[in-house]
Structure 1
């Protein structure tokens, strides 16, 4: 009888190109259910394959994630296709909707298929924030300022991801684009009413619940007219996501090391706040001591069967190896498309 893995609620990272003994010890803790890779973990495709082999040897049943959206946010470069920023697709949509939707699907497939070739489960993508022209951290990562265009292009992009065997993660619920502060280094505050946020930003996430969105990452943004806690620590916002938006997939916290998370207290308190609010998995990045502290603190934590099942759905599905992928006509055409879109955006 096949037994599904039970994934723990903590996602961790690593310091370098290969796992250390202490990192392997951290990885095998049953409370660790995911790992996220950064640019510092990538030197070449051969090295990446070796690193992932180490991870899989230690833990077969762990989600391997990366931020590989395209444009400014693409962790692996050498040997991988340079993906255009998503704003390029939004601009193309204004000219020819059908072509832009086709291109979005192919870029989603290309991004996901190249990562799946190396046994990476997910990229935290796509960005579903609106571009209001005031957020540097969002900016051209957003498809558009128009919710209708964002929903259309995200739906196509996710369809491509699914064809490559990768689940999607929409970010940053309920919308990060209307604040100028960067939650990596600041504590953004969005003073709009719930009604305004719902009609202008959250409607995107609500519609995407019906268009293939498998997971959501809430914003480290405070919306004081709704709650005094950032969305990922807020039972109110998570309840809105689960009940009003009818979302049944995974909820990942954003990185607990970010400045926007500090309002909840120390790392243990941040993890408690996110999990008690309803997140399925918390990310603890760029601070191995904090990761150890969180894992130790959660020693008695028991993920619900429902949460564990949701996380298991994020594991990669089908994939083909890199050499075989490069032989396909679809890959060659998708690479040409990416190069063309990059030229337009240059």
Structure 2
């Protein structure tokens, strides 16, 4: 039977319970996503990550750690990273009057941010961060806002490429989000299902351009919990047209496609009906996603919903309603770091790390 571990789950506390261990050992679990509630200190986080890897070394330990208001770990030595808008603003400064000096300084600073971000996380045992945001700042979306680099897709692409270079220097993969673009809709997909009424041509000529230009360096993409009504009546993460025809077929992307959090009620809407967690996972996988995120469910009823999804997905596999994808599993494994991480005490004394800190805005 083909192995494919598509589920990224969460845990409730700062250490693993016996129930957490059982879920993480399940062959359909591919990783763990961490939140602020899982943090006490660097020593605690490092011990937690080591404990996870002792269960299964192939589990992907991930986190939303972008900088600005989306940064899960902020104390005990972690650098307070600026929001991505700060790099766009630095770009617009003219430096010392030399043509393009603001742009060059901004790109160098973005590379440094990526390096610091990834180096600090990896020093504690975290493998992967869902970053960078590739959304364009249309001034419409409160949930995106200063998480976006800029409005201009050229600026966004060059700054994101620079940040991804910094991640790569520290041995970390990247994730562009939220495909094909979340910045032009007002509704917050955490609480409502946004609808973008622009044509496919308009979207591809603007918001989706970073995915076209960065296709050779993106290792993962996260579709938006947004309906693009003139393209498909399903949110992008449930849409085979968006995932398979456009992202993979037309744009040629061959990395990981990972859903945004499927625990949000607004995210589980198809045809006006709210899907169950299992239905949402199956719909996303059938649309062509490789990984499915279920966040913040471990804190509800002891995580019974997570157990239900694990049981239901195993049953769907046995009954042929879901066919595991060997290529998806290979892509998941490719997100794991390939080089050893520097321990924290060694990292903070390293010249390249100190120079990177000096370049941050």
Q: TM-score, structure 1 length as denominator? A: 0.94
Distance apart, 1:262 and its partner CA: 2.2
Do residues 56 (structure 1) and 53 (structure 2) align?
yes
Q: How does 1:179-258 map to 2 (within 5 A)?
A: 179-210=185-216, 212-238=217-243, 239-258=245-264
Number of aligned residues = 334
Structure 1 residue ranges without an equivalent (≥5) = 342-346
SS of alignment partner, residue 201 of structure 1: coil
Q: Do 1:230 and 1:260's aligned partners in 2 also have CA atoms closer than 8 Å? A: no
When residues 316 and 241 of structure 1 are mapped into structure 2, their CA distance, relative to the original with a 3 A threshold, is same
Distance apart, 1:280 and its partner CA: 0.2
Moved more, 291-300 or 41-50: 291-300
1:259 and 1:69 map into 2 onto residues whose CA distance is 24
Q: How does 1:195-344 map to 2 (within 5 A)?
A: 195-210=201-216, 212-238=217-243, 239-264=245-270, 265-287=275-297, 288-299=303-314, 300=317, 301-318=322-339, 319-338=341-360, 341=361
Q: How does 1:89-168 map to 2 (within 5 A)?
A: 89-95=87-93, 96-168=102-174
- Runs of 4+ aligned structure 1 residues displaced above 6 Å come to none
SS of alignment partner, residue 293 of structure 1: helix
**Structure 1 residues 227-249: Cα deviation after superposition (integer angstroms, max 9, x where no partner):** 11100000110120001110000
The residue that corresponds to 2:178 in the other structure is 172
The residue that corresponds to 1:344 in the other structure is none
Distance apart, 1:6 and its partner CA: 5.2
Q: Do 1:113 and 1:164's aligned partners in 2 also have CA atoms closer than 8 Å? A: yes
When residues 75 and 7 of structure 1 are mapped into structure 2, their CA distance, relative to the original with a 3 A threshold, is farther
Q: TM-score, structure 2 length as denominator? A: 0.90
SS of alignment partner, residue 208 of structure 2: helix
Q: Do 1:6 and 1:312's aligned partners in 2 also have CA atoms closer than 8 Å? A: no
Q: Do 1:183 and 1:259's aligned partners in 2 also have CA atoms closer than 8 Å? A: no
**Structure 1 residues 278-330: Cα deviation after superposition (integer angstroms, max 9, x where no partner):** 00010011112222222111112553221111111100122211111111111
Do residues 81 (structure 1) and 74 (structure 2) align?
no
The residue that corresponds to 2:63 in the other structure is 66
